[in-house]
Amino acid sequence: MATATLTYNLEDPDDRMAHLRAIKSTDMAIALFEITSNLKKKCRSIAEDEKQKLNAYSAMNEVFKGISEILEEQGIKIDELIN
């Protein structure tokens, strides 16, 4: 069985960010799946609903609201992973 050990200097800001990215990778993958698959289905359902006519701005807000909710559910804080 192959194994790998990653070592980070958590006192170094770049290493600390790399460590955080590594431990959040599964959460990010789940979030991306939710965004590309399930959120798309949800948006399609909303668009097809005759009772709820959305203009382009409202539709965009719904998409970004959905993305934010998914990221929050997975505990992903983009600012922590980028800055």
pLDDT, tens digit, 9 for 90 and up, residues 18-62? 999 999 999 989 988 888 888 877 777 777 765 566 677 777 788
Q: How far is CA 22 from CA 43, 63, 69, in A?
A: 30, 27, 22
**pLDDT of 1 strictly over 70:** yes
Triad 53, 55, 57: Cα angle to 5° = 140
What letter does residue 63 receive in the DSSP assignment?
H
63 or 8, which is more confident: 8
Q: Report how far residue 43's alpha carbon sits from residue 4's, in angstroms, rounded to the nearest whole number.
A: 40
The stretch 57-74 carries a mean pLDDT of 86
Identify the pLDDT of residue 4: 92
